[in-house]
A and B are shown apart, each in its own frame.
Chain A
Amino acid sequence: MIRLKNIDKYLDKKFQRTFILKDIDLELAQGEFASIMGPSGAGKSTLLNILGFLDDANSGEYHFFDEPVHNLSEKQKSQYHKSHIGFVFQAYHLIDELTVYENIEMPLLYRKVKGSERKGMVAEVLDRFNMVAKKDLFPHQLSGGQQQLVGVARALIGNPKLILADEPTGNLHSDQAAEIMELFQNLNNEGVTIVQVTHSEKMASYGNKIIRMQDGMLLENFPHLAD
């Protein structure tokens, strides 16, 4: 499903080139639940952004379902955002001015789903997440865990093939975190591919693959960095 080859990401400053990602080779199959782990500054989020087309690599190849992402236009990328990829963020990133219902509905608007159909789909998700009673509240009226639930619901409503989660439980206390992780597990069982960035081994243990990184490189490729 995902195939990265020789991905480099760097910043050029005058005479110095700083690598954020270097020589990343990575393959992920459909149905995997992978956790990217590593210390701060290892390049985890950058890698996730590249996976989600939010950032471009400076060199290397990225194939998404055999489609060469490095050759995609802005428009085609947003097309994939609509249909294939769902994002979940550490800071939830709900739109403050919209209610729970409206936040969840938003991806459908960009997919131009018809009004009646939209209603049905949102209702179904709200029901599934037990949030029917909260649908008219604004994000600041919810607890962090509830906000993240809305975030996941929003990511799910488009029936994505891939969910990318950047420290989804980073701002949550352990009960809420477990709840979100169990949710991910269930989704994964339903066939959704999930990639999450996390600091916590415990959270990583919900998945079935761990990608360790340090200084912009994958540890599998450079095992000498492991200790």
Chain B
Amino acid sequence: MLKNYIKIAFRNLLKHKSYSLINILGLSLGIGSMLLIFLFSINELRYDRFHKNAEQIYQVYKQRVTPNGIQDAMDLWTPMKDELVSTYSGIEKATRIYSGNAWVEVGNETFEEHITYTDHELFEIFSFPLSEGDNAKPLTNESSIVISNEMAKRFFGNENPIGKILTLDFESDYIVSGILEEIPHNSTIQLDLVVLLSSDPNYSEYQNNWGSSFLEIFVQLSPNTNPQDIEVQFPDFIKRIWNEEVAARTNFKLLSLTELHNYSTNSNQIVFILFGIAISIIIIAVINFVNLATARSLERAKEVGIRKTLGATKSQLVKQFLGESVILSLFALALGYVLVETVLPFFNQALNTELSSSIIFTTYNLVPLLLFTFVIGLMAGIFPAFFLSKFKSSETLKGALKNKPGGIFFRKALVITQFGITTFILFGTFVIWNQLQYLKKADLGFEKAGIIVVETGLRDFADPEAAAIRISTFKNDLNNLVSVHNLSSSVSSPGQWNNSFTFAIPQNWSHDQPARVRFTYVDDAFFETYSINFLEGTNFLNTVDSVQFDKVIVNEAAIKNFGWETGLNKTIQLGRDRFADVIGVVDDYNYESLVTEVAPVLHYYRSSENGVHRNLSVKINAADIPSTLGAIQERWETYFPDRELSYSFVDQTFEQLYENQDRLAYVSGSFTIIIVLISCLGLFALTSLLVIQRTKEIGIRKTLGANVISIVRLIGLDFLSLVGLGFLIASPLAWFFMNSWLQDFAYKIDLNLTIILLCGTVLFILTVLSISYHTIKTSLQNPVESLKSE
């Protein structure tokens, strides 16, 4: 009997090719999308879970309580690690991590690579297995270095790297003592070069320094320790190390390693949105299936009638139809898998992930997946199955059903739902795209076009003093280029902002509540180079540093934040007895992405020759970018033949700041296309079926004098009103939902009717396109043809 069902199912599929294609394609796209999103979500949700101790690992971070709210910061103090372990018995182990870039000399070659300074506990707390070296304690002493496989290949090719010597930052030699195995892509901590923090030549200068914080600390709690029990004891810790005052405005917290990825990238939101999209696609595909199956009920009704007269019971028929839809969905699963295999490389490239479909084929995932597909098949089949098996054979065999294609109300409700979902997703994608465009195009408060930032940090050179002189000459050379308008040296540049904070007491503020404010160092050309406006006061003068030590330029946000009417004639207290006079106030400019609001910034003066500066911003004539870049390159090579010029365009840097939003826009955009496609295909097929059933009616109307246009309108309005109703129901919901999504952004678009109208127009056009082919074809038919068949 089963064989008979399968045979019928397959022959049915083959016989109604376009119908089957739309059904299978829709379900495959749905299941494929689900698979893809499933892979992505697993990857995101299992971030950092590969560590055996993941549940016990926490990152310690601090919270600064300021009058403007609580700020989290991950940077902690060098001596804190030992202090934590000795204070709390619940903390078994701790490790410090500081990452940066280092110059690596191997033989005659020099590379700039990512390096991690840490403690040997890193390898005990985390699971970073080694392919070579001592797994338990690979960093045996201050001159050991553990390197990744990739680095080993880059530095030594096929030679055995163990025992080889690397020179870091032109001064310290390290001996390779271990090679890391490949670290999973979904690991927050990525290691290339690993050395002991204590191996830093300057370690003794800061190892007991509770004054400056710059490294991260991870701890491993003993199995029965509750992190809250430790958190409540932190205030005493702070009082002991510092004092009551610091304790009043500082908290320490423990962040679970398993939460870390979501904390830093808000990945759960993306997973949540994608999950919603995947469910929507499935629902739409299932609705297509149900709609087409019930619309085709007339054809299947005859078969139902025959089977009943041959002794089929209702439950046997239900089983048959359910079986068909389950077979179809399994078919769709296979096709969906092929689709995933095909698009996965593009998806990985676009999202910068390394997803692999191989994880599907573990029992752990495969069984739920098959079960899920089975459920989809049941969902799609259950209504048509009961609907069809209900038919009385005395009616179906006589063709009495002809004039009442069943489930009309239900089908209408489904079409409304389908296009409601489509509206929702379409609207959401429009908003996401608009917001992204807005972020990328918005006025940043400075001119980003035509500015090249060259990295000139002195620590990058083997001989900083010699380099300083050369950089100075290099800058002079650039200044003489006609196409270079301005040059400015600074610590940070917009888009590559190093956040440093200081405690400041603005004039009129009470002394026990200092503000925690960003500060940076700039030269006198900075504001002009970036075309940042002065609201009041004046710029720095070109002098030696000491003349302007007590001068500061603030941004508008600072004035507002400090509660000042004007910045002129105000002072800010910076330390016990250090004061700075505000000499100017500049417009707010976005030093970071527009996701975050511009916060107060204090600008201190350092002359352009000062070694503190790391970036050289070169404002050039927008028309001669390639030639100017060539000239800069050429000059650089003359002065620094063994160093590559490292530069970036400010406008491009800003584009890259929106990687997360870009990902979301890319993914939601592509899935929206799929959703719209499936919905329209469904409508297309539904029109064809329903119009065929109305052929007779149309024929009669035509013989009674109806023209083509009135008939197209008659049928078209039927569908358009359904789509329109779906649109009307969904758009307020979408509005509400997207409005709350936008709240995450400091700078955002206003939702307005234009987006709704745009969304409605797109939907209208798509609907008309989907229904017009069959509608017009039928309206044009000669009524003689359509009536003869009766």
Contacts and interface: CB of A to CB of B under 8 A. Distances in A.
Partners in one complex: yes
A209 interface: no
B9 to A, nearest CB: 9
Interface stretch (A29-37, A104-112, A124-132, A168-176): A104-112
A111 B311 contact: yes
A227 interface: no
5 contacts: A54-B394, A55-B392, A79-B311, A81-B308, A81-B310
B309 A106 contact: no
A204 to B, nearest CB: 21
Given A79-B311, A81-B309, A106 B4 contact: yes
A38 interface: no
B1 to A, nearest CB: 5
Given A45-B398, A54-B393, A93-B397, A78 B313 contact: yes
Contacts of B541: none
A74 B393 contact: no
B635 interface: no
Interface string B331-374: 00000000000000000000000000000000000000000000
A97 B12 contact: yes
Interface residues of B, number: 25
Contacts of B8: 95, 97-98
Contacts of A112: 1
Contacts of A93: 302, 305-306, 397
B307 interface: yes
B316 interface: yes
B432 to A, nearest CB: 46
B545 interface: no
A154 interface: yes
Which residue, of B15, B306, B310, B394, has the highest number of chain A Cβ atoms within 10 A? B310
A43 B311 CA distance: 24
Contacts of A110: 1, 307, 310-312, 316
B55 interface: no
A142 B312 CA distance: 26
Interface in A119-138: none
Contacts of A158: 310-311
Contact of A109 (B1, B12, B394): B1
B394 A82 contact: no
Contact of A75 (B309, B313, B393): B313
Contact of A81 (B1, B7, B311, B397): B311
Contacts of A82: 310-311
A186 B269 CA distance: 77
Interface of B: 1, 4, 7-8, 11-12, 15, 302-303, 305-314, 316, 392-394, 397-398
A167 B311 CA distance: 21
Given A106-B310, A158-B310, 18 more contacts: A45-B398, A49-B394, A52-B309, A54-B309, A54-B392, A54-B394, A74-B314, A75-B313, A78-B313, A81-B309, A89-B397, A93-B305, A95-B303, A95-B306, A97-B8, A102-B4, A106-B4, A110-B312
Interface residues of A, number: 33
A119 B39 CA distance: 49
A85 B7 CA distance: 26
Contacts of B310: 81-82, 87, 106-107, 110, 154, 158
Contacts of B305: 93
Nearest to A138: B11
A97 B4 contact: no
Nearest to B393: A54
Nearest to A87: B309
Contact of B311 (A89, A91, A107): A107
B403 to A, nearest CB: 15
Nearest to B302: A93
Nearest to B4: A109
A29 B375 CA distance: 52
A20 to B, nearest CB: 12
B714 to A, nearest CB: 28
A223 B59 CA distance: 102
Nearest to B10: A97
A78 B311 contact: yes
Contacts of B398: 45
User: 8 shortest A-B CB distances, which residue pairs?
Assistant: A82-B311, A97-B11, A81-B311, A54-B394, A55-B394, A49-B394, A110-B311, A87-B309
B158 to A, nearest CB: 63
Contact of B312 (A49, A54, A78, A98): A78
A111 B312 CA distance: 9
A52 B397 CA distance: 13
A154 B307 CA distance: 11
Which residue, of B15, B302, B306, B311, has the highest number of chain A Cβ atoms within 10 A? B311
A87 B309 CA distance: 7
Contacts of B314: 74
Which residue, of B1, B12, B307, B394, has the highest number of chain A Cβ atoms within 10 A? B394
Contacts of B308: 54, 78, 81
Contacts of A111: 311
Which residue, of A55, A75, A106, has the highest number of chain B Cβ atoms within 10 A? A106
A74 B313 contact: yes
A214 to B, nearest CB: 20
Contacts of B11: 97-98
Nearest to B299: A96
Nearest to A95: B303
A85 B309 CA distance: 8
Contacts of B302: 93
Contacts of A98: 4, 7-8, 11
Nearest to B1: A109
A97 B392 contact: no
A36 to B, nearest CB: 15
Contact of B7 (A46, A74, A83, A102): A102
Which residue, of A52, A75, A78, A85, has the highest number of chain B Cβ atoms within 10 A? A78
A61 to B, nearest CB: 19
Nearest to B306: A93
A55 B395 CA distance: 9
A189 B309 CA distance: 24
A116 to B, nearest CB: 15
Contacts of A83: 311
Interface string A192-210: 0000000000000000000
Contacts of B311: 78-79, 81-83, 107, 110-111, 158
Contacts of A74: 313-314
A50 to B, nearest CB: 9
A45 B400 CA distance: 13
A154 B392 CA distance: 20
